[in-house]
Amino acid sequence: MAKSLFFYKLDNIRRQVSMHGILIVVSITCIFPLVWMFSSALKTQQTVFSDMSLIPSSPQWQNFILAWTKANFGTYFFNSLLYTFTVVTGIVLISSLAAFAYARLQFPGRNILFYLFLATMMIPIPGAFIALYVLLMKLGLINTRIGYILTQINGGLALGIYLLKTFFEKMPKDLEEAARIDGCSKLGIYYHIALPLARPAIAVVVIFNALAVWSEYLLAMLILSDKSIMPLQRGLMVFQGAHLTQYPLLMAGITITVVPIVLIYFLMQKYIISGITAGAVKG
Amino acid sequence: MHIDTAKLRKFKDVFGNYLFILPAIGMFLTFSLYPFAKVFQLSVFRWDGISPVMNFVGLANFKEILYDSVWWRAVWQAFYITLLALVFQNALALLLALFVDRGIRGGNVYRVIFYLPPVLSGIVVGLIWNWIYDGNYGLLNYLLEMLGLAHLQRAWLADPKTALTAIAVIHMWKGFGWGFVILLAGLQNIPRDLYEAADVDGAGSWEKFRHVTIPLMIPVFVMVSILTILGTMQIFDIIVSTTGGGPGYHTEVPVTRILANMVGSSRFGYACSQGIIFGLLLLFASLFQIRISRYLKQEQ
């Protein structure tokens, strides 16, 4: 009996070790390309292809300064920040107002108008960017920041309204009544009661849209042609097209693009992971 | 008189409620509904995107798609990547999720690491992998040489034989962590006492997997498959930042074709009709998946 228990334990340890072994190998493949990117950003044009060490003997920190100033990545970075901030603010503002109305207010056509939004989330229209381009041309918004911002705000509305509506519906009714008796207007209830209560849901909306806007490429490619208003993803492709061989600078540019995302991810990973799982398992 | 003011107040009230959804509706009409309708309108015209004249051609654009071999090749290639992702990416994700679900130590650390590639952009991932696959200085060729497999070395993304599969590998590297997180959440949702009950019945780990885990996971499997199909068929960023569709047409996919027709050949109408056909394909794929899952549920 004792012997079989011993073997059972041994078996268990063996299994644990092999499982950890596989998990660790996969983890390394996830992280290694990023480590390599950073290490290549610190090498020179000559050593980047010959020096295969992870830690370069003389790290070229000035590559980052060169990428930031000469290669325009400073401008692209500022643009990405601006786009992320304005688009996310717009989405939170517009979708929370609408979600509040759908969840809390009465008006004719409420359900139809809600399902219209939901439909845009469900129906894939891969060619819509062509018509969007035509529309922006007509409105004179091609190659403008506003055009790029507005289209992306619209892109995030459906999911934002959906998430916030389910949250507002759970809001206790008596809180709202009490506020109304105190003479609080609907806008006041939205602003002073609903919004603060919905903070966790708003956090999810903010994080997911921020990640999406930071990574967006297709619309940036179609809409923006001036370097001065391009975001990072577009800037990276422009740089690669013009300086195919300047590897360390390209890697420095990628690092500049990736660092904020990785930082935010590590800080917010709990929200991010619980956000996708909640949406997925329930949805 | 009294009734009138009440009516007026009621009207004002409802009108005020509409103001809350007005910005959203305005955005929706301008940037979702109008383009949606416009795609259908443009699809029956021949138009270069600039000239004031649009030639009505009826269904000629759709007829042309039928004989457009490059287009169908692009659809097939996206489908090939999708098949690989459905099988290998999701199998890896499920295997790793099963490991972590068994209460392994450090499970959360693995979860954080595996979800790192999915938060990176397709452009960044493509540009990094370009360099791993490089024919002269690439990391992959370097590893092969160290392993004594120098005869396998090649320019992975420039070789017609390997380019498409190489892209599929990048895509799966970027995507498996996402599948892992969702599948793990699904596994953790399974009530533990079901496993305990199976233990009492003397079920082995395979039987538990077959009769407890799989049936309860079917809805999650279906959802992961649908999202894998929709996401992979529309692959674009990774292609643009690696091969741009080449060599030849070997890594062209539907979105690159639609863009090539629109921006490259200035054939806006034709590009729109391709977009519609592609949208319908995606719709059918997800409806088909849902049907299968209903059928499987009834079987049990």
Q: Is pLDDT at A36 greater than 70 in this prediction?
A: yes
Report yes or no: B171 and B232 within 8 Å, Cβ to Cβ.
yes
Find the CB nearest B35 among A98, A132, A254.
Answer: A132
Report chain B residues whose CB lies below 8 A from the CB of A134: 35, 38, 42, 49, 268
- Cis, bond preceding B247 (omega within 30 deg of 0): yes
Report yes or no: A252 and A69 within 8 Å, Cβ to Cβ.
no
Q: How far is CA B286 from CA A20, A170, B15, B279, in A?
A: 35, 31, 39, 11
A199 lies in some domain = yes
Report yes or no: A282 and B155 within 8 Å, Cβ to Cβ.
no
Q: Give the span between the Cα atoms of B133 and B151, in whole angstroms.
A: 15
Q: What is the mean pLDDT of residues A37-52?
A: 83
Q: Determine, for residues A33 and B128 on separate chains, whether the beta-carbon distance falls below 8 Å.
A: yes
Length of chain A: 283
Report chain B residues whose CB lies below 8 A from the CB of A272: 115, 119
Find the CB nearest B279 among A117, A127, A218.
Answer: A127
Lowest mean pLDDT among A10-14, A148-152, A196-200, B141-145: A10-14
Q: Determine, for residues B30 and A135 on separate chains, whether the beta-carbon distance falls below 8 Å.
A: yes
For chain B, percent of residues with pLDDT exceeding 90: 49
Residue A282's pLDDT is what? 45
A213 lies in some domain = yes
Does A3 or B117 have the greater pLDDT score? B117
Q: What is the mean pLDDT of residues B116-134?
A: 93
Q: What is the mean pLDDT of residues B233-241?
A: 95
Contacts of A255 (CB under 8 A, 6+ apart): A37, A38, A41, A64
A101 lies in some domain = yes
In this structure, the number of other CB atoms found within 10 A of the CB of residue A112 comes to 8
Report chain A residues whose CB lies below 8 A from the CB of B131: 40, 247
Q: Determine, for residues B182 and A157 on separate chains, whether the beta-carbon distance falls below 8 Å.
A: no
Q: Is pLDDT at B255 greater than 50 in this prediction?
A: yes
Kindly identify which residue of chain A lies nearest to residue B137, measuring between CA atoms.
A49
Report chain A residues whose CB lies below 8 A from the CB of B276: 127
Note the pLDDT tens digit of each residue in A91-110.
999 999 999 999 888 888 88
Q: Determine, for residues B24 and A123 on separate chains, whether the beta-carbon distance falls below 8 Å.
A: no
Provide the pLDDT confidence category of residue A1 given band limits of 50, 70 and 90: very low
Residue B212's pLDDT is what? 87
A221 lies in some domain = yes
Q: Which helix (H) or strand (E) holds A250?
A: helix A247-282
3-state secondary structure of A247: helix
| B-contacting residues in A 53-92 (Cβ below 8 Å) | none
| B-contacting residues in A 221-240 (Cβ below 8 Å) | 221-222, 233, 236-237, 240
A280 lies in some domain = no
Burial class (CB in 10 A: 0-12, 13-18, 19+), B75: buried
| B-contacting residues in A 172-211 (Cβ below 8 Å) | 186, 190, 211
Range of the domain at A157: 72-242
- The CATH number of residue A85's host domain is 1.10.3720.10
Provide the pLDDT confidence category of residue A193 given band limits of 50, 70 and 90: confident
With vertex at residue A263, the alpha carbon angle to CA A257 and CA B237, rounded to the nearest 5 degrees, is 35
Q: Is pLDDT at A283 greater than 50 in this prediction?
A: no
Q: Give chain A's domain count.
A: 1
Does A42 or B104 have the greater pLDDT score? A42
- Highest mean pLDDT: which of A107-121, B70-84, B93-107? B70-84
Report yes or no: B255 and B234 within 8 Å, Cβ to Cβ.
yes
Q: Please give the model's pTM, rounded to 2 decimal places.
A: 0.90
Residue B248 to chain A, least CA–CA distance (Å):
19
* A44 near B CB under 8 A: no
Q: Is pLDDT at B30 greater than 80 in this prediction?
A: yes
Residue A4's pLDDT is what? 61
Residue A83 to chain B, least CA–CA distance (Å):
16
A3 lies in some domain = no
Report chain B residues whose CB lies below 8 A from the CB of A23: 96, 99-100, 104, 110
* A112 near B CB under 8 A: no
Strand pairing class (B55-56; B45-46): antiparallel
A36 lies in some domain = no
Q: Is pLDDT at A46 greater than 80 in this prediction?
A: no
A63 lies in some domain = no
State the amino acid at position A80 in one-letter form. S
> Can you list the domains of chain B with their CATH numbers?
2-42 (no CATH), 60-299 (1.10.3720.10)
Write out the two tokens for B69.
């071999």
CB pairs under 8 A between A and B: 235
Find the CB nearest B16 among A151, A186, A250.
Answer: A186
φ/ψ of B268, rounded to 5, equals -65, -40
